[in-house]
Amino acid sequence: MQEDNKKDNKKDNKNNRRDFLRKSLITGGVLAAGAIGLEKVFSKEGEKTSTDDTTVFTRDGKVFRADMECLHEYKAPPVTNEEARKGIAGKKFVMVFDLAKCDGCKKCTEACQAMHFTEPDREWIKVYKMKDAETTAPYYMPKPCFHCDNPPCTKVCPVGATFKRQDGIVLIDDERCIGCRSCLAACPYSTRFFNWSDPIQPVAVANIPYSPEHGFPRQRGTSEKCDFCPHMIREGKMPACVTGCPMQTIYFGDQNEDAVTNSAGVTVKLSQLLEDNSAYRYMEELGTEPRVYYLPPKNRKYPKPDMESIGKEKKDDGKKPNSDMGNMVM
Amino acid sequence: MSKTIYPDSNIPAELSVEVIREDSLRPTRKWGRSTQIWLGCLLMVAGWGLYAYIHQLRHGLGETAMRNYVSWGLYISTFVFFIGISHSGTLVSAILRITKQDWRMPITRIAELMTFVSLLFGGIMPIIDLGRPDRIANLVIFGRVQSPLMWDVMSILTYFTGSTIFLWLPMIPDMALSRDRLTVCDSRFKKFRKWLYTKLAIGWTGSKTQWKRLELVMTIMTIVIIPVAVSVHTVVSYIFAMTLRPGWNSTVFGPYFVAGALYSGSAIVILAMVVFRKLYHLEKYITYRHFDLMGRVVLALTLIYAYLNLNEYWIPAYKMATAEGHLLHDLFSGSYSTAFWLCQFGTVLFPIIVMCFPKGRTPGMLAFICSLIAVGAWVKRYLIVVPTLLHPFLPIQDVPQDWAQYFPNWVEWSVTMGALSGILIVITLYAKLFPMMSIWEVVHGAKVEENKRIATEKGEHEEEELLKAESVHAKTSKGKTTIVMANGNK
């Protein structure tokens, strides 16, 4: 038993070091897109072409200066399907949207679509123009998957292809999904999408080994949705929408740590943030227990959304946009 | 024809066993030209449906009109409709059996067959609707009992097994009869028939023990099949009712679906009765009285269905809660209002009014009314599935046009019509192989009637005798003449 504990401690130390390494690399601003290989951090040694140096840690904890060009992005080792189902231990991820800051620029959607190689019509995070009643003010409402703690979607899945993890994230295993679309029908927030036809994706993406943690390569006949970017979290990074938001609207973090961070790197106390701003969750009465909070759009500094423009925006797929207002009160 | 029938009887009592047997078996012996043409047409439609399905398999569900908002469409509506029809068999057969309604005898086989085929194709519809039918084994490998879809799979499989047994059990004595009669008659596929009848008759000889056993098993099945049937349509409603969606999030959905199923199912039984009565010349057996009684059954079920419709729509319509209100607006006065009101008035209220009158329960009128009900029930299923999906809680904004609307396209129509003609093919083949009436039950019914007749006549006779005995002292001469007359007749 004692030996086991020791081993565990050692492992923890190692993990901490690894985290540290990751974070130091990130703060070094080394985000060379497309770079690969965990062990190849210093593969280009000796071919110095640049003079920009940075401080880095090696895997065994040594600190030294290295050329920026020699550095490659840290890639978390691929997780097994079993690990992807379990989730990251000890975490409870939450997202907070400060609606007062959102100006509806849809940069979060764009960042998300780039991250997940989605087709333009799949908005995993969608920015709605909301107006609750005729007399109330309109506002923008970005909506990702709420990763509900009482998820209606995972309950109805007949094969357990969509599941709730210990870190609060709801994921889909496209390799198990049978395409019955019960989850699409069950989700009250219209969060899920279905791959009706063969997905359009780059060949390079199609050749990446599939993991439920990033949701690609896509497969026809399966469902997909926002996943809180667990493959980024494993690398110590923020979800694409959070970093992609120029307005610092989106906060992301761990409820257990009681801390959330936005794209500007501002970390705040979650409970304080929710309390000070009278945060709410969308449609609390449904009892789905969302892991996404909204701060009311009070004292907005940006122009309010033009409700008349709904359905008139240009769509790049050539199809006529829809002008149906659905359930919106006008 | 109806004149020859003893008043108030279910089956013409004077028919001999031989006539009944021959009347039932005759249609199975000939494959007329019309049958071939009919089957050929059906096969063409089914083949086209199969082509459309293969097209869908190759290119994905994107070939249908379904998109992210309306993710269930015609396939699932048809699934609910077909499963609904399947309730007819249990209702007519089991419920009438359990309540000892003797008039059921000539129509039980038709009803049970409807259950069998509609379940067969109803069960296929969700598989056609699957995005990954190749992974269907996952239902067994990773199956979760918490999922309403899993309840559907389990209860439909149970019901299908049960109703197959329920169809087959009363067929056993008839199969033995067909087997024994086959050698005498000239028919196509003789060898195959011989083999089929022998297998299905499982060595029936008609011994006392066999009859006893059959009766026992039938009783058990009758009792078992009713709750299974109710459970099937209840859990079919649960795939909708277990969601939070406006229009589906309803506690009345279980009984609502069961009532809707019985309403459409019993109408389909009447339609089948009309068709087989005409084609197989069963006018002697399926009489006006049967239509009158079945008409009353459909009337009662339509009333129940109308009552549940009231509960399903009037209660939320009174309150008009936000999301529910948007859906109801669309149904009552929006894009679906024409279909909705046609369903409510044309296929629920109108049939009720017509069937209230005895003249509305004649075969001709019932054929018309029941066709209305069948179509109405199908459209109603569509109105339950699709409009709700078009009214999510969050508004539908800035999406491609085809996401925000739905009407089935050629692939869905072809596949669905293919499934429908598949149903008709199975019915036709069945009707050309097996007797469409449960012969032994009809014979039994005829005997019951005969006994009743004898009993009544005897009663009348005895009364007469008594009267005579009283009057004999007064009018002796008349009594003598009667005896003489009787002797003379001999």
Give me the pLDDT at residue A193, please. 94
Distance CA B290, CA B421 (A): 27
Domain ranges for chain B, please list them: 25-447
Which tens digits make up the pLDDT trace of B367-403? Answer: 999 999 999 999 999 999 999 999 999 999 989 988 9
Helices B108-129 and B253-279: crossing angle, nearest 10°?
120
Q: Residue A53: pLDDT above 60? A: yes
Question: Do A228 and A279 lie in a common domain?
Answer: yes
Segment A103-123 shows an average pLDDT of: 91
Question: Do A30 and A108 lie in a common domain?
Answer: no
Which amino acid is located at B319 in the chain? K
Given a contact cutoff of 8 angstroms between Cβ atoms, the answer to whether A214 and A235 are in contact is no
Interchain CB contact of B135 with A (< 8 Å): yes
Q: Which helix (H) or strand (E) holds B183?
A: none
Given a contact cutoff of 8 angstroms between Cβ atoms, the answer to whether A244 and A111 are in contact is yes
Distance CA B415, CA B405 (A): 20
Question: Do A63 and A155 lie in a common domain?
Answer: no
Question: Do A48 and A135 lie in a common domain?
Answer: no
Q: Residue A205: pLDDT above 80? A: yes
In a domain, A214, yes or no: yes
Q: Residue B113: pLDDT above 90? A: yes
Q: Which of A34-48, B170-184, B452-466 has the lowest mean pLDDT?
A: A34-48
Question: Do A56 and A96 lie in a common domain?
Answer: no
Number of domains, chain A: 2
| Superfamily classification of domain B25-447 | Formate dehydrogenase/DMSO reductase domain (1.20.1630.10)
Give me the pLDDT at residue B439, please. 87
A197 or A306, greater pLDDT: A197
Question: Do A186 and A271 lie in a common domain?
Answer: yes
Question: Do A127 and A213 lie in a common domain?
Answer: yes
B466 or B121, greater pLDDT: B121
Q: Residue B184: pLDDT above 60? A: no
User: Nearest CA to CA, how far is A126 from chain B (Å)?
Assistant: 9
Give me the pLDDT at residue B273, please. 92
Distance CA B115, CA B117 (A): 6
Q: Residue B37: pLDDT above 70? A: yes
Segment A181-201 shows an average pLDDT of: 93
Question: Do A285 and A233 lie in a common domain?
Answer: yes
Interchain CB contact of B184 with A (< 8 Å): no
Q: Which helix (H) or strand (E) holds B48?
A: helix B33-59
Selecting from B131, B138, B398 the residue whose C-beta is nearest the C-beta of A311 gives B398
Given a contact cutoff of 8 angstroms between Cβ atoms, the answer to whether B70 and B219 are in contact is no
In a domain, A312, yes or no: no
In a domain, A303, yes or no: no
Q: Return the HEC string of chain A.
A: CHHHHHHHHHHHHHHHHHHHHHHHHHHCCCCCCCCCCCCHHHCCCCCCCCCCEEEEECCCCCEEEEEHHHCCCCCCCCCCHHHHHHCCCCCCEEEEEECCCCCCCCHHHHHHHHHHCCCCCCCCCEEEEECCCCCCCCEEEEECCCCCCCCHHHHHCCCCCEEECCCCCEEECCCCCCCCCHHHHHCCCCCCEECCCCCCCCHHHHCCCCCCCCCCCCCCCCEECCCCCHHHHCCCCCCHHHHHCCCCCEEEEECCCCEEECCCCCEEEHHHHHHHCCCECCCHHHCCCCCEEEECCCCCCCCCCCHHHCCCCCCCCCCCECCCCCCCCC
- pLDDT band with cut points at 50, 70 and 90 for residue A248: very high
pTM, 2 dp: 0.84
Which tens digits make up the pLDDT trace of B208-240? Answer: 999 999 999 999 999 999 999 999 999 999 999
Which tens digits make up the pLDDT trace of B69-109? Answer: 999 999 999 999 999 999 877 877 888 888 888 888 888 89
Q: Which of A323-327, B49-53, B107-111 has the lowest mean pLDDT?
A: A323-327
Q: Residue A24: pLDDT above 60? A: no
In a domain, A60, yes or no: yes
- A39, burial (CB in 10 Å: exposed 0-12, middle 13-18, buried 19+): exposed
In a domain, A76, yes or no: no
The pair of three-digit structure tokens given for residue B164, joined into one six-digit string: 């197959």
Segment B166-183 shows an average pLDDT of: 87
Segment B253-263 shows an average pLDDT of: 94
Q: Residue B475: pLDDT above 70? A: no
Residue A106: CATH number of its domain: 3.30.70.20
Interchain CB contact of B207 with A (< 8 Å): no
Average pLDDT of the residues of chain A:
79
Bond prior to A217 in cis (omega within 30° of 0) = yes
Q: Do A197 and B62 make contact, defined as CB atoms within 8 angstroms?
A: yes
SS3 of residue B50 by DSSP:
helix
Q: Residue A47: pLDDT above 80? A: no
Q: Which neighbouring-strand residues pair with A96?
A: A251, A293
Q: Which of B70, B147, B238 to substitute to test the interface with A, most A CBs within 10 Å? A: B147
Question: Do A60 and A92 lie in a common domain?
Answer: no
Portion 262-301 of B in contact with A at CB < 8 A: none
Which tens digits make up the pLDDT trace of A206-220? Answer: 888 888 998 888 999
- B390, burial (CB in 10 Å: exposed 0-12, middle 13-18, buried 19+): buried
Q: Which of A4-13, B111-120, B193-202 has the lowest mean pLDDT?
A: A4-13
Selecting from B62, B138, B393 the residue whose C-beta is nearest the C-beta of A283 gives B393
Give me the pLDDT at residue B2, please. 37
In a domain, A315, yes or no: no
Give me the pLDDT at residue A313, please. 56
* Beta-carbon contacts of residue A265 (< 8 Å; ≥ 6 apart): none
| DSSP type of residue B6 | P
SS3 of residue B336 by DSSP:
coil
**Host domain of residue A95:** 82-295
Question: Do A89 and A178 lie in a common domain?
Answer: yes
Q: Which of B56, B127, B132 to substitute to test the interface with A, most A CBs within 10 Å? A: B132
Q: Which of A242-251, B124-133, B184-193 has the lowest mean pLDDT?
A: B184-193
Q: Residue A106: pLDDT above 50? A: yes
Average pLDDT of the residues of chain B:
87
Question: Do A52 and A174 lie in a common domain?
Answer: no
In a domain, A328, yes or no: no
Question: Do A210 and A179 lie in a common domain?
Answer: yes
Q: Which of A62-66, A159-163, B109-113 has the lowest mean pLDDT?
A: A62-66
How many C-beta atoms surround the C-beta of residue A239 within 10 A? Answer: 25
